[in-house]
C-alpha cells in the first residue's frame, strides 16, 4: 500500500513498503478504473500532506489521461481541508493549481475511480452528490467533512 509508506494515518496499522514519489502515487491512483474506497479517501490527504509535490508534472500527466476532473476534485477537497486547518501555505499552493485545473475541466461525466458503478448507483449519485462533485462532473458522494484521516 503506497499511502502507508507516505504516512497516511488511515493505514497506520499496515506495514509500509518502499516509499514512492507522492506525485506518482496520486496519478497512479487517479488512473485506476476501480480503487478501494479506503484508498480513494486517502487521496485528498495525499494532496494536502504533499502540497509541495511537482504539481506541473501531475497536472500535465492527468490531462494526458483525461483525469483532470478527478484531480480537480481531490485538490478541491484538500484545499478545503487546508483552509479548515488555517495552513495558508498549503492552501495557497493547492488553490493555485486548482485554478489551473479549473481552466481544463472536462464536460464528460466520470467516477472517482469507481468505473464499475451500476446504473442504479450512477443515477442515485447524480441526484445526491455534493455540489463540488457535480462541479467536477464526478459521480461520488465524498465530502471533506467525512474524511476521517484527512488531517495532518
Full DSSP string of the chain: -HHHHTT-GGGTTSPP-----HHHHHHHHHT-SB--HHHHHHHHHHHHHTTTS-HHHHHHHHHHTT-HHHHHHHHHHHHHHHHHTT-HHHHHHHHHHHHHHHTT---S-EESSBTT--HHHHHHHHHHS-HHHHHTTEE----GGG-TT---
Confidence of residue 148 (pLDDT cuts 50, 70, 90): confident
Does residue 16 surpass a pLDDT of 60?
no
Mean pLDDT for the chain?
89
Q: What's the whole-number mean pLDDT along residues 48-73?
A: 97
**pLDDT for residue 83:** 86
Residues contacting 151, CB < 8 A, separation 6+: 45, 81, 85
**pLDDT for residue 108:** 97
For residues 93 and 79, what is the distance between their CA atoms, to the nearest angstrom? 9
135 vs 39, higher pLDDT:
135
Residues contacting 77, CB < 8 A, separation 6+: 44, 47, 132, 142, 143, 144, 147, 150
Q: pLDDT of 102-122, one tens digit each?
A: 999 999 999 999 999 999 999
For residues 26 and 94, what is the distance between their CA atoms, to the nearest angstrom? 14
**pLDDT for residue 80:** 93
Does residue 152 surpass a pLDDT of 70?
no
Does residue 3 surpass a pLDDT of 60?
no
For residues 42 and 53, what is the distance between their CA atoms, to the nearest angstrom? 16
**pLDDT for residue 32:** 96
Amino acid at each position: 500500500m503506497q499511502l502507508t509508506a507516505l504516512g497516511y494515518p488511515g493505514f497506520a496499522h499496515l506495514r509500509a513498503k518502499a516509499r514512492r514519489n507522492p506525485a506518482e502515487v496520486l496519478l497512479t491512483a487517479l488512473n485506476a478504473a476501480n480503487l478501494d474506497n479506503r484508498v480513494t479517501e486517502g487521496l485528498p490527504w495525499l494532496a494536502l500532506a504533499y502540497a509541495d509535490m511537482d504539481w506541473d508534472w501531475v497536472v500535465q500527466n492527468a490531462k494526458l489521461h483525461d483525469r483532470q476532473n478527478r484531480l480537480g476534485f481531490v485538490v478541491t477537497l484538500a484545499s478545503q481541508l487546508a483552509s479548515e486547518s488555517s495552513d495558508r501555505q498549503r492552501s495557497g499552493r493547492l488553490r493555485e493549481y486548482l485554478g489551473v485545473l479549473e481552466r481544463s475541466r472536462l464536460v464528460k461525466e466520470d467516477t472517482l475511480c469507481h468505473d464499475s458503478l451500476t446504473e442504479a448507483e450512477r443515477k442515485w449519485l447524480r441526484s445526491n452528490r455534493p455540489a463540488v462533485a457535480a462541479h467536477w462532473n464526478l459521480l461520488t458522494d465524498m465530502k471533506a467533512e467525512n474524511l476521517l484521516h484527512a488531517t495532518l
